[in-house]
């Protein structure tokens, strides 16, 4: 469980409810006019077990809006300062400062950043900050078919979903029913955890 | 497609150990305080200003309520419309409780702009030059197109008779004006696409409980048994994921019967339910075996059975011989499981037992659907909260000219060869008539929003059929495989450019207006205007052709629900709601069957020489020594039939289909995940990309339907594999249902 994150904005996603439909992916694409080839929100699929005792989970992924984000650190170290964290926790890429070096893309362990070959800038989820600033939730939240997503302040969400977990330290997406323990060892090929692939391939 | 690969190492670092599962059910979006605005370099500054137009989506036939944001004559965003209940749930009490949490919209609806502004759309009327199918076109004016088409139709009528013109339409859009034309023209052959879809279910349910489309109250059920239905993937209505997952979160146990572990079967497993991997086409046997247990162990609802059903004794006599031991080798589901599920179904209430096109799209589909339908009556779970509900529907009543009697005989055997064929007719039979000339040789086909070549099973036969016609007219947004075979292609509209009226598929009366958000992008006339102009050119200067389309809708609304078009438009979300869900309506009105009862035994079927009881007969065209795999197909959330494969956004997320093959079988054949393999039978041979998975029966392979285009557009062309080419393409003899899922193939590298 992460320590208190105060009043920053966050998202909760319940993986048990998720049906892997990609409505979130398309809502994001539509709302932010994401270029063809840009992936700000994808849904991965995890299969396990053996026929007919199978396990399948869909895993929606987006930028985790980390504090001390590796992408921001890399961009700062390179002197560009194009990745900015707002007081409310939202991390965004300022296209006016981005030089298109793509170092942030490989710095992100969540594969959340896309490079736009038309604008030659890096891009990623910014929690629909233009909507947020107008008092609206992010586009993915309002479209989700199985009502997996909630939006609000981190502490409020953590209190509402006490068993929700994050994928990393100081990130802003809380997942209920996240993951499962590898069966034996960590990276052993027989631990039943295949590489996550897009749910619909 | 654009994908990011996360390595296992990274993912394992991300994953956390799961604790107690199941977050508390939390509906709604918690409020949050407005924060100080930062200087926002918004991607959509143009969402400030403009207007929101309430309308109805048509990325599929689900008629989700939407609102389109329009600025300077362009759609810039599409969002859900909460005033249309179909985006929320399907019973009125739930709608009252949930409306404030907002309606939802699926991935296809979110991609609507990419269909509207698809640069590959047909932009102008086209006339074929060169050989049929050669792909050479001349752009002509709308007036010339209407004149020539009308002239040719008139000539065919004069020489061969009006019945030689067969009209095929998508049955969700502006059907009344098309029916009006066909009736005025004098052809009885007005066919709609439902018989490619779910008429086996419709006929099965209608003969049993009097309505063709009961709706499952999934949100309030405590036991859910689904045969061959994937509401969480092939979602017919956008409310289905919410209501089903809510039901599961509230403790419902779900059992999903499917050869494949679909999205719905996955959720069943995750919520401690079951996946029964059944042999394709044997669902009727499974249902009868469950009935057998329920009758033998006296678990049926004796009161309901005694008061409200017909034929219990005859059904009991039948199922005495249809035990779980009988069904196990047929279905591949062991007898113990069959017994356990049957007992649960009968004792955990309220219960939903439902079926869709899994059992339906086989040569025994109507019988299977009936066998499943009767289970609800046996356990007394009908038209009550948490069960199969008979919807009350009200909607527009269009007045159209009648088909003059005596009318020529139909080409498709509806009512004769297919005694209980649905009103939509039988596409397969019409196709076969084009080849055989029996009962007569059609001369012309008009396709409105139909990709006949791709949608009727057995693609090669479809091409052969069309090559026998003198005249083919296709009204379409894209150069589909059918448009490519046409003499004339008229540019169709995308839903954001046109009108329509929709009774919603919820259990209480609701009617929504589709209205144009923008005028047609290429200045083309909506399909209903083309039909009207064609009629006027033919000399039918009568209503509705000599009235405006808005008047036609206005008259229909007044006649059907007593409001005007202007009033409907002015309602919040342009949606009219006419009452609440009512339960146990049979107590006052009976069931809409000949006897007024829930019929286990159907005299009307006996009268037509059919088995009055829903016994099991094996389906056809299954595996053989030469072709050892059943071939099935299914639908998914990201695509609609064969229609959406040129949508650039949707194709980013699912850009090609693959052939699902069981991991053990694949290993035995030396097939690894991602390998290109040959799929072959006596009808076709083609390559497919293998998806090696644990999620499908070892004797079954399958893929999502609708890929493998050679037409439609450059984004669609060449992507994936067409499953229909392998299907023999018969029609089930009772309902006329196209048997898409009766096929067998061999697979090899």
Note whether A144 contacts B104, CB cutoff 8 Å.
yes
- Kindly give, in sequence order, each residue whose CB lies less than 8 Å from that of residue B96, ignoring residues fewer than 6 positions away: none
Tokens of B319: 């199922």
Residues of chain B under the 70 pLDDT cut? 1-48
Nearest CA to CA, how far is B104 from chain A (Å)? 5
Q: In Å, what is the CA distance from B474 to each residue of A139, B105, B149, B449, B538?
A: 37, 30, 11, 8, 18
Task: Output the pTM of the full model.
Answer: 0.93
Note whether A30 contacts B32, CB cutoff 8 Å.
no
**Three-class HEC string of B76-131:** EEEEECCCCHHHCCCCHHHHHHHHHHCCCCCHHHHCHHHHHCCCCCCCCCEEECCC
Note whether B2 contacts A39, CB cutoff 8 Å.
yes
3-class secondary-structure state, position B664: helix
Closest residue of chain B to A196, computed from CA coordinates: B6
In sign, the C-alpha dihedral spanning B304, B310, B315, B316 is positive
Q: Please, which residues 642-671 of chain B have a Cβ atom closer than 8 Å to chain A?
A: 648-650, 652-654, 658, 662-664
Beta bridge partners of A85: A91
Quick one: pLDDT at residue B297?
A: 98
Per-residue burial over B652-663, b if 16 or more Cβ lie within 10 Å, else e, is bbbbbbbbbbbb
Quick one: pLDDT at residue A4?
A: 64
Note whether A111 contacts B636, CB cutoff 8 Å.
no
Of the residues B15, B218, B662, B689, the best mutation for testing chain A's interface (the one with the most A CB atoms within 10 Å of its CB) is: B15
pLDDT band at A55 (very low <50, low <70, confident <90, very high): confident
pLDDT band at A57 (very low <50, low <70, confident <90, very high): confident
Quick one: pLDDT at residue B172?
A: 87
Cβ of residue B698 closer than 8 Å to a chain A Cβ:
yes
Of the residues A56, A97, A110, the best mutation for testing chain B's interface (the one with the most B CB atoms within 10 Å of its CB) is: A56
Q: Which residue matches tokens 């599929």?
A: B60
pLDDT band at A7 (very low <50, low <70, confident <90, very high): confident
Nearest CB among B6, B23, B232 relative to A161 is that of B23
User: Number of residue pairs across A and B with CB atoms under 8 Å?
Assistant: 264
Quick one: pLDDT at residue A56?
A: 84
Q: Between A175 and A179, where is the model more confident? A: A175
Closest residue of chain A to B239, computed from CA coordinates: A145
Note whether A163 contacts B3, CB cutoff 8 Å.
no
Kindly list the residues from chain B whose CB atom is less than 8 angstroms away from the CB atom of residue A57: 266, 270
Nearest CA to CA, how far is B53 from chain A (Å)? 17
Quick one: pLDDT at residue A6?
A: 72
Q: Are B441 and B433 in contact (CB under 8 A)?
A: yes
Beta bridge partners of B216: B388
Note whether B638 contacts A22, CB cutoff 8 Å.
yes
Q: Is the pLDDT of residue A197 over 80?
A: no
Tokens of B82: 């909460």
- Of B608, B599, B593, B601, residue with least CA distance to B314: B601
Q: Are B413 and B421 in contact (CB under 8 A)?
A: yes
Nearest CB among A145, A163, A164 relative to B241 is that of A145
Domains of chain A in sequence order? 9-187 (3.30.70.20)
Quick one: pLDDT at residue B298?
A: 98
Kindly list the residues from chain A whose CB atom is less than 8 angstroms away from the CB atom of residue B256: none
Beta bridge partners of B260: B696
pLDDT band at A179 (very low <50, low <70, confident <90, very high): low
> Phi/psi of residue B298, each to 5°?
55, 45
Q: What is the ipTM for the molecules in this complex?
A: 0.92
Nearest CB among B10, B29, B652 relative to A141 is that of B29
For all residues of chain A together, what is the average pLDDT?
86
Kindly list the residues from chain A whose CB atom is less than 8 angstroms away from the CB atom of residue B650: 26
In the predicted model, what is the mean pLDDT of residues A162-167? 90
Kindly list the residues from chain B whose CB atom is less than 8 angstroms away from the CB atom of residue A166: 16
User: What is the Cα–Cα distance from B159 to B152, expressed in whole angstroms?
Assistant: 11
Note whether A198 contacts B29, CB cutoff 8 Å.
no
Q: Is the pLDDT of residue A45 over 90?
A: no
Beta bridge partners of B288: none
Nearest CA to CA, how far is A101 from chain B (Å)? 18
User: What is the Cα–Cα distance from B246 to B232, expressed in whole angstroms?
Assistant: 12
Nearest CA to CA, how far is A77 from chain B (Å)? 23
Quick one: pLDDT at residue B38?
A: 22
Cβ of residue B9 closer than 8 Å to a chain A Cβ:
yes
Q: Is the pLDDT of residue A188 over 60?
A: no
Cβ of residue B235 closer than 8 Å to a chain A Cβ:
yes
């Amino acid at each position: 469980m992460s320590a208190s994150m105060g009043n920053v904005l966050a998202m909760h996603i319940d993986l048990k409810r998720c049906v892997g439909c990609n409505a979130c992916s398309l809502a994001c694409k539509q709302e932010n006019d994401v270029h063809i080839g840009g992936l700000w929100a994808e849904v991965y699929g995890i299969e396990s077990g053996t026929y007919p005792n199978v396990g399948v989970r869909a895993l929606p992924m987006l930028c985790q809006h980390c504090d001390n984000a590796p992408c921001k650190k890399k961009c700062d170290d390179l002197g560009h300062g194009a990745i900015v964290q707002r007081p409310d926790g939202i991390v965004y890429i300022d296209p006016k400062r981005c030089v298109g070096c793509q170092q942030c893309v490989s710095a992100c362990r969540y594969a959340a950043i896309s490079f736009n070959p038309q604008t030659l800038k890096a891009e990623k989820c910014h929690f629909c900050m233009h909507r947020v600033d107008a008092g609206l939730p992010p586009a993915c939240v309002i479209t989700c078919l199985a009502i997996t997503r909630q939006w609000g302040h981190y502490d409020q969400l953590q209190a509402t979903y006490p068993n929700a977990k994050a994928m990393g330290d100081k990130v802003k997406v809380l997942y209920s029913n996240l993951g499962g323990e590898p069966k034996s060892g960590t990276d052993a090929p027989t631990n039943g955890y295949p590489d996550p692939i897009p749910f619909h391939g | 497609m654009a994908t990011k690969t996360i390595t296992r190492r990274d993912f394992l670092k991300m994953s956390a150990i799961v604790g107690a599962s199941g977050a508390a059910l939390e509906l709604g979006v918690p409020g949050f305080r407005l924060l100080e605005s930062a200087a926002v370099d918004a991607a959509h500054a143009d969402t400030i200003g403009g207007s929101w137009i309430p309308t109805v989506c048509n990325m599929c036939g689900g008629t989700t309520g939407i609102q389109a944001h329009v600025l300077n004559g362009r759609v810039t965003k599409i969002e859900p419309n909460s005033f249309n209940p179909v985006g929320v749930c399907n019973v009125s009490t739930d709608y009252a409780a949930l409306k404030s949490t907002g309606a939802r919209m699926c991935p296809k609806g979110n991609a609507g702009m990419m269909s509207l502004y698809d640069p590959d759309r047909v932009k102008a009327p086209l006339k074929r030059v060169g050989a049929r199918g050669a792909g050479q076109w001349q752009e002509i004016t709308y007036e010339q197109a209407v004149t020539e088409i009308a002239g040719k139709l008139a000539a065919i009528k004069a020489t061969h008779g009006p019945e030689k013109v067969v009209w095929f339409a998508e049955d969700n859009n502006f059907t009344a004006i098309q029916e009006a034309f066909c009736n005025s023209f004098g052809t009885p052959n007005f066919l709609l696409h439902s018989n490619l879809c779910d008429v086996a279910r419709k006929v099965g349910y209608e003969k049993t409980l009097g309505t063709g489309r009961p709706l499952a109250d999934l949100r309030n059920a405590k036991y859910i048994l689904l045969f061959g239905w994937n509401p969480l993937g092939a979602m017919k209505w956008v409310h289905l994921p919410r209501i089903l997952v809510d039901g599961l979160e509230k403790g419902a146990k779900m059992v999903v019967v499917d050869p494949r572990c679909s999205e719905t079967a996955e959720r069943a497993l995750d919520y401690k339910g079951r996946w029964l991997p059944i042999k394709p086409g044997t669902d009727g046997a499974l249902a009868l075996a469950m009935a057998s247990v329920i009758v033998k162990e006296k678990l049926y609802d004796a009161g309901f059975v005694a008061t409200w059903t017909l034929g219990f004794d005859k059904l009991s006599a039948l199922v005495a011989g249809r035990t779980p031991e009988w069904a196990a080798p047929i279905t591949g589901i062991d007898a113990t499981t069959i017994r356990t599920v049957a007992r649960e179904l009968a004792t955990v209430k309220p219960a939903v037992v439902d079926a869709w096109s899994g059992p339906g799209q086989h040569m025994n589909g109507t019988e299977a659907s009936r066998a499943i339908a009767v289970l609800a009556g046996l356990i007394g779970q009908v038209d009550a909260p948490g069960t199969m509900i008979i919807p009350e529907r009200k909607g527009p009543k269009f007045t159209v000219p009648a088909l003059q009697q005596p009318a020529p005989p139909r080409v498709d055997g509806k009512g004769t060869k297919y005694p209980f064929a649905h009103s939509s007719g039988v596409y397969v039979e019409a196709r076969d008539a084009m080849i055989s000339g029996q009962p007569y040789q059609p001369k012309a086909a008009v396709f409105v929003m139909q990709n006949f070549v791709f949608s009727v099973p057995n693609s090669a036969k479809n091409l052969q059929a069309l090559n026998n016609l003198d005249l083919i007219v296709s009204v379409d947004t894209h150069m589909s495989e059918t448009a490519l075979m046409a003499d004339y292609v008229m540019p169709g509209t995308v839903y954001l450019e046109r009108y329509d009226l929709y009774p919603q598929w919820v259990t209480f009366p609701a009617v929504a207006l589709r209205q144009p958000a923008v005028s047609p992008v290429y200045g083309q006339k909506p399909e209903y205007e083309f039909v009207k102009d064609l009629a006027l050119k033919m000399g039918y200067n009568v209503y509705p052709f000599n009235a405006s389309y808005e008047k036609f809708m206005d008259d229909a609304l007044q006649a059907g629900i007593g409001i005007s078009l202007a009033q409907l438009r002015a309602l919040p979300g342009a949606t009219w709601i006419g009452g609440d869900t009512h339960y146990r309506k049979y107590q006052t009105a009976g069931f809409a069957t000949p006897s007024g009862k829930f019929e286990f035994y159907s005299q009307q079927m006996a009268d037509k020489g059919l088995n009055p009881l829903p016994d099991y007969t094996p389906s056809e065209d299954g595996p053989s020594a030469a072709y050892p795999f059943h071939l099935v197909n299914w639908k998914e959330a990201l695509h609609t039939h064969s229609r959406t494969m040129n949508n650039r956004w949707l194709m980013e997320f699912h850009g090609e289909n693959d052939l699902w093959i069981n991991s053990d079988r694949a290993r035995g054949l030396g097939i690894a995940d991602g390998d290109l393999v040959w799929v072959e039978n006596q009808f076709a041979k083609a390559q497919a990309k293998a998806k090696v998975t644990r999620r499908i029966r070892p004797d079954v392979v399958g893929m999502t339907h609708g890929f493998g285009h050679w037409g439609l557009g450059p984004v669609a062309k060449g992507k994936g594999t067409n499953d229909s080419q392998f299907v023999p393409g018969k029609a089930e003899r009772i309902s006329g249902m196209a048997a898409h899922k009766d096929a067998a193939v061999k697979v090899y590298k």
